[in-house]
Amino acid sequence: MMKLLGKIQLFAILLVLSMKPASAEPLLVIATNDYPPYVTLSSDRNFLVDLFAEIGKEMGVRFEFHYYPWKRGEQKVENAEVWGTIPYRKTESRKKTFLFSDPIYLADSHFFAYSADQTKPPVTYEKLSDLKPYKIGGIQGYYYEPWYEKAGLDVQYAHSEEQNFKRLKLGRIDLFSTATTVGWHIIKQLFPPEEVAKFYTLEKPLIAGDGLFLMTAKSYPNNDNLLRRFNAALAVIKTNGTYKNLVSEYNLVMTY
């Protein structure tokens, strides 16, 4: 009987030792907001969440996503309450406070317009100040805010891309810029095909082929090492086919 008990105890100890609890992996919290098709509240599965899951496997960490309004999420990063936020573009003002990963995706941004009669009149500009005659839609906290202010544009801010596209259709604004892939995705979600056909983009992009990045706080503990490991893990999944498979799964376009 004693031998049997001993074997049971030994088996129990080995079983416990062989189990690796999820909490054994360090947890890194990422702030984000609804930004389809890259990341969205409406589904547990989306491109950036799945991408970070694969990066986490390579890094030996676990990522957890918390959704906040953009400005609040940025503040949480600055206060080192979370490790980082996605997806963000680099600006000179942001680089004073934050550090950035290697690009997690490359995305153009265009100005969108709406033509009720589908004539789609061309709007051209060489510099942003050329758009002074137009009412521009925007979202507070986005990278372009200081650009618009410097150019002296008439900007009316809303809380989301969806609100701006609805205002664009109603004629309350004339132009609204966002990542081109994001813009067309949202338009197709919001409007029937006959209305989608009335939207168009200006030929000249606001940003061409620029990156979307993970933005982290300089003050976050051990951040230099974490960011170095993140970039190394991102490079691995870009070379082993994992990144390409995710891009294909979510009907995005390879951009590197």
Q: According to CATH, what is the number of the domain 107-208?
A: 3.40.190.10
CATH top class, domain 26-104+213-249: alpha beta
Burial 11-32 (b: 16+ CB within 10 A, else e): eeeeeeeeeeeeeeeeebbbbb
Structure tokens at 195: 């209305």
Contact residues for 18 (Cβ-Cβ < 8 A; gap 6+)? none
For residue 10, the model assigns a pLDDT of: 42
For residue 254, the model assigns a pLDDT of: 62
pTM of this structure: 0.70
Of 26-30, 59-63, 180-184, least confident by mean pLDDT is 180-184
Overall average pLDDT of the 208-236 stretch: 93
For residue 24, the model assigns a pLDDT of: 67
| pLDDT tens digits along 90-115 | 988 899 999 999 999 887 889 999 99
- Portions of the chain given CATH number 3.40.190.10: 26-104+213-249, 107-208
Task: Give 81's pLDDT tier (boundaries 50, 70, 90).
Answer: very high
| pLDDT tens digits along 172-207 | 999 999 988 889 989 999 999 999 999 999 999 998
Residue with tokens 């957890």, as numbered in its chain: 64
Overall average pLDDT of the 141-165 stretch: 93
For residue 92, the model assigns a pLDDT of: 87
**Could you give the CA distance from residue 75 to residue 78 in angstroms, rounded to a whole number?**
5
